[in-house]
Structure 1
Amino acid sequence: MLRPLLDGESINSWLIRASLNQGCDLSTILFYHWSKYNLRHHDFDKGFNHIDKQIHQDMAVLAQTNIEFFDNRSLIQLNEDIGLEYRSNISLTWVLPIPKFHSKTMVGHQYCAQCMQEDKNAYLRLKWRFSWIVYCEQHLKPLQNSCSSCELPYQPHLIKANHRFINRCPHCREKLSAEKVNQVLCADTYEFQLQAERVLSTNQAVIFGHSITSGDWFELILFFINLIRKSTLEKI
């Protein structure tokens, strides 16, 4: 029996925890259940409906849940919810990249050190993949993407079976812990994070007294961000 999909958990996290629970590496469980696909080079959090809908059905059976759970945890689906069309050759907007197998990119996965403290209950939240998520809403602490012990990026897909839990650094095998420097919460940044979460969940927002959809809101915010970036580059 594999691990159930937890509240707010990402598909990537579930796959890693499921493999560790079975005493094997992530690549082993991917090959055992879906050998005809080269899933190791795929961003699991995008979901698998654009590859084969049967994969979500398989996962639902393994996790003892229903297929809607996995469909709703898809980053592609969430991007479509805010009016963004998925294209296989373009990165998802508002989504932070994570490292893949055999990738030399030193990118780390975001996590909250306090959320990851309990070995058996530690898991990765899907919302930690969004670029507007900077703080853990439960602990009001900034998210980290590297190990505080060895300072290398946290890359959970490299965790081995003998590490046992997802809250271990695959490089030094130490348990993930908080940064030594205590960072102060920026009120404006956190307020924007909360606003983006509200807009995504309700599919509406109010701008200049007018009600708009979440897709229009995110498009407008992206316009302002690009405008600021452009003005900054011109000053340099």
Structure 2
Amino acid sequence: MPWALSVPLLSEESLSSWLVRAALRQGCDPLSLTGAIWPTWRIWTRDIDREIPLVRMRPLVNASGISSAEFQKAGVRDDCEKVAGYSLPETRTWPWLLALGSRNRTRHGGQQVCTLCLAEDSTPYLRRHWRFAWHTGCRFHGVQLIDECPACKAPIEPHRLSAEDQHLAQCSRCHDDFRKVVCTLHLAEAFSVQVMADRALKSSNVTFREAPIAPADWFSMVAFFIGVVRRASRRPASPLADALLSLGISVTDSRMPLSGLAFELLPVSERSALLASVERLLSIGVEETFSALVAFNVKTSALHDHRKSPPVVLLPLLLRLSHHPHGPHRHRVPPAHRPMSERAVRASWARLKRRMKAEPTF
């Protein structure tokens, strides 16, 4: 039987956002609503923004009056598979989609919002494109997105709101209103890559070196350059770091990631810094970039893990670099008395802070 109060899907709204709004509109919390629709399915232990499986669709369509086609369009699977270039599994992290880090109903991250968009909404809601890892700023307001509560530093978890909360523009833990947050300006360079990525996603093909390529190849190339910058930041005294510095990219920037987490797990500030560096490489062109790598005698082994294939579109350029063959890996066990480096300690601390976000700090 359909709900007495209808809740339409809004423009570019994510599935989790709609489910939370539907629950608050009916006067209950999200867990109660989804439990009534799917009594035996624990929906909030998974990333529902990816898609609602067709086998689970009928009770939702009957209750909401919204067609299954609209719900499928609101999911991100089609876009993510276009970006990845292959069919994605049900589980595991998806390339370029922010990972929630779910443990039961608690989250380590994965949701980000523009506070100014929420403030302008008559009914605050989350946009599906905020889940994409290349989105670090608002396309309308030019401010950086936030991915945690500014007051208590908890992850943004709207599915844990209660019926009394009435809207999702607030922290589910301390109930601070996100719409009152003072915004930070977005890095122009990171926003430039964001625009290019959005364009590549919407296009059937993009151009690289005056030849059409698939969107997946473009995203693969950007992911490769992100990896190059991160590898250089781990070894600031290396030919690779020197080559990037000659191109105007400082790998010792304080905003660079310390944790070693996958790009899809990084906080918005660190993703923004990486994209800003990649924008520099894209703007000067891959020809000049690889000329600098050749000039500083950078080996191909310094650019990427030899166990993974590099982007097809970059293979002709990688052939210009000298190759240092890898022998068998030797795992050296450091002596027990040897202290960890400062960088290793900072990386461990950054990973621990991400895990601690899922637990109350008060």
| TM norm structure 1 | 0.88
Q: Following the alignment from structure 1 to structure 2, what is the Cα–Cα distance between the partners of residues 108 and 153?
A: 8
Give 3-state SS (helix, strand or coil) of 1:211's partner: strand
Which is greater in Rg?
A: 2
Q: Following the alignment from structure 1 to structure 2, what is the Cα–Cα distance between the partners of residues 101 and 19?
A: 22
Instruction: Decide which moves more: 18-27 or 81-90.
Output: 81-90
Distance 1:61 1:77, change over 3 A: farther
One-letter amino acid matched to 2:47: D
Larger fraction in helix: 2
Unaligned runs of 5+ in 1: none
One-letter amino acid matched to 1:32: A
Pairing 1:193-212 to 2, within 5 Å after superposition? 193-212=194-213
Distance 1:80 1:119, change over 3 A: closer
Matching residue of 1:189: 190
Q: Cα distance, 1:167 vs. partner? A: 1.0
Matching residue of 1:42: 46
Matching residue of 1:7: 11
CA contact (8 A) 2:136 2:191 kept: yes
Aligned length: 232
Q: Does residue 1:170 correspond to 2:201, yes or no?
A: no
CA contact (8 A) 1:147 1:177 kept: no
Q: Deviations over 1:63-92 (max 9, x none)?
A: 433222221222222222231321234211
Pairing 1:1-236 to 2, within 5 Å after superposition? 1-49=5-53, 53-82=54-83, 83-98=85-100, 100=102, 102=104, 105-107=107-109, 109-117=111-119, 120-180=122-182, 182-235=183-236
Q: Deviations over 1:102-125 (max 9, x none)?
A: 455542620011111257511000
**Identity over aligned residues, as a percent?**
26
Q: Cα distance, 1:204 vs. partner? A: 1.7
One-letter amino acid matched to 1:78: D
- Runs of 4+ aligned structure 1 residues displaced above 6 Å come to none
One-letter amino acid matched to 1:85: S
CA contact (8 A) 2:112 2:145 kept: yes
Unaligned runs of 5+ in 2: 238-362
Q: Deviations over 1:200-226 (max 9, x none)?
A: 012321111111111111112112222
| TM norm structure 2 | 0.59
Matching residue of 2:350: none
Q: Deviations over 1:90-149 (max 9, x none)?
A: 211101122546455542620011111257511000000011001111211110122233
Q: Following the alignment from structure 2 to structure 1, what is the Cα–Cα distance between the partners of residues 135 and 81?
A: 19
Q: Which has the higher contact order (CA 8 A, sep 6+)?
A: 1
Q: Deviations over 1:133-176 (max 9, x none)?
A: 01111211110122233343322111111101111211122321
